[in-house]
Amino acid sequence: MTTSTETLTASLMAAKKAKGMSFADLEAAMGLDEVWVASLFYGQATASKEEAEKLAELLSLDPAITAALQEFPTKGSLDPVIPTDPLIYRFYEIMQVYGMPLKDVIQEKFGDGIMSAIDFTLDVDKVEDPKGDRVKITMCGKFLPYKKW
């Protein structure tokens, strides 16, 4: 039986809260990046059997949730298409403003192609600043040139 993404996310978040753990705590315990672990919670990644069992041990998950973590998800299918959460919407807005400029700069440096979201890492850091702490997001993806045939 397949567990819905919403049920999976709610169950995992409740278990994490009950154990008083953060994604950084899970990163330390599992040896996997906190952003990747969070993507697993939202049904956007697949855990190996060992990873699912380790998370189950850490969060006291039931077998159905542990099994669901190992299923191949439909990625990028979070609703709504235009986000309404203010933090997520800000990324949408950033791409509206800087998407084409980023595309042009990347293609000037690398040629005609795209940045992989598969061979990819994403890091979030806190940068302390006397005028207000800052969020530093680093995306690192392999460049994939378009093939000619």
For residue 126, give the DSSP letter: E
Of 50, 90, 128, 134, catalytic = 90
Per the listing, tokens 């709504």 go with 80
Q: Which of 108, 116, 128, 134 is catalytic?
A: 116
- The number of helices, as runs of H, and strands, as runs of E, in the chain is 6, 2
* 116 included as an active-site residue: yes
67, with CB counted inside 10 A (0-12, 13-18, 19+), is middle
- Kindly state the tokens that stand for 102: 């980023």
* 134 is known as an active-site residue: no
Catalytic residue (choose from 6, 93, 108, 128): 93
Residues marked active site are found at 90, 93, 116
